Amino acid sequence: MDEIIELRHLLHRNAELSGQETVTKQILMDFIKSHTSLQIHDCGKWFYCVKEGTSGNSIAFRAEMDRLPIPETITLPYGSINPGVSHKCGHDGHSAVLCGLRLLLDKKEYTDTVYLIFQHAEETGQGAREICGFVREKGIREIYAFHNLNGYPENAIVYRHGLSQPASEGLTITFTGKPSHASNPEEGHNPTQAIAETITYINNDLLKREYEGMVLITIVGIKAGNDDFGVSAGKGCLYLTLRAENQSEMELIDKLLRTKVKELCLRDTLECSFSRSDIFPETRNNEKCLHRVIDCAQTLSLQTIEMNLWRASEDFGSFLQECPGAIFYIGCGEDHPALHTPEYDFNDSIIPAAVKMFYQLMTDR
């Protein structure tokens, strides 16, 4: 336990953004090499470890390695040394837990082949998309992950049947017109009216339609022109996050938005372009695998709590499109600071429960 906590603190200190986890990856690989004799496979941005079995069946566990663009503002002896970057989602703890499982794997033989996947770029949704083909290639039968979660009792196993986390995407809409002198706006093509009407369309039409599940459209940013009072704006951008329980409905609102924007731009002599980013699929647990999670928690005498939909997205859904599996959550305290806030730090006290849950899922088969 002391070694795993020390590893977690070292990872926290060396926080790195999505797609840049070079030091983080090396720290984890060095720890595993120095503490176990298991195989390590370096895949560039990510790596995996494998413990070969004899049954022909296989199981995988995933942990993320990336951090957030949030400054470290709380005083910690292991605070991030990288300005503007820190572990405010707990991926340092998730990776440390997988290393704890790795230590147990080295102690005995198992019939099933076990894969431990250390994934990059979860926060942008890119990592799992780049790895999920590996799950198919290796014929992995089941895959599991956990996430720490504030607002629930420490060490409680929190779960949801079916949809666990919704699909989402970032959508940037760029409106390009023609600037002009502010005294002659009619000589240019200012995009602000089209941007305003797009927002009105979102609020008064798209968000008032009937959908099968939750649908959210969050305006995260608006940009048009600048503070030069002599110039009428000639370009603007609208930044949106689309979120839906059903991926098909997220794709529908994306399509409707594009159609409306094109109509407005044609009317106002503007050009428009669209860019998608941070694309996350819906994360739906396999019912059989989720029941295994609940059974293992009860075997370990851990409290189990069924949760409401957590609106945040999770790229683990990409893996679940390739093979059965489940993601569950471990409470890090009812009053623990929220994820993605400057006050947050992973609760080391939940590490033993997380390791035990993974180990139980591996052995109770």
CATH 3.30.70.360 domain extents, the chain: 167-280
pLDDT at 68: 97
Q: How does pLDDT run across 342-357, given as a tens digit for each residue?
A: 999 999 999 999 999 9
Please enumerate in sequence order all residues whose Cβ is within 8 A of that of 297, keeping only pairs 6 or more positions apart, or say none. 157, 303, 304, 328, 357
CATH of 167-280, one of 3.40.1030.10, 3.20.20.70, 3.30.70.360, 3.40.50.300: 3.30.70.360
R_g over Cα of the chain: 23
CATH 3.40.630.10 domain extents, the chain: 2-165+283-363
Q: How does pLDDT run across 35-47, given as a tens digit for each residue?
A: 988 889 999 999 9
Query: What mean pLDDT comes out for the span 281-291?
Result: 97
pLDDT at 269: 98
Q: Does domain 2-165+283-363 match CATH 3.40.640.10?
A: no
Query: What mean pLDDT comes out for the span 19-42?
Result: 95
Q: Are strands 325-331 and 142-149 parallel, antiparallel or unpaired?
A: parallel
pLDDT at residue 107 greater than cutoff 90: no
Please tell me the pTM assigned to this model: 0.94
Cα–Cα distance for residue pair 231/223, rounded to 1 Å? 15
Instruction: Assign 113 a pLDDT band (cuts: 50, 70, 90).
Output: very high
Query: What mean pLDDT comes out for the span 129-149?
Result: 96
Cα–Cα distance for residue pair 88/97, rounded to 1 Å? 17
User: Helix H segments across the chain?
Assistant: 2-13, 22-35, 91-105, 126-138, 192-204, 247-267, 287-299, 317-320, 351-363
Q: State the average pLDDT for the chain.
A: 97
Instruction: Assign 106 a pLDDT band (cuts: 50, 70, 90).
Output: confident
Characterize 261-288 residue by residue with b for buried, 16 or more Cβ atoms within 10 angstroms of its Cβ, and e for exposed: beebbeebebebeeeeebbbbbbbbbee
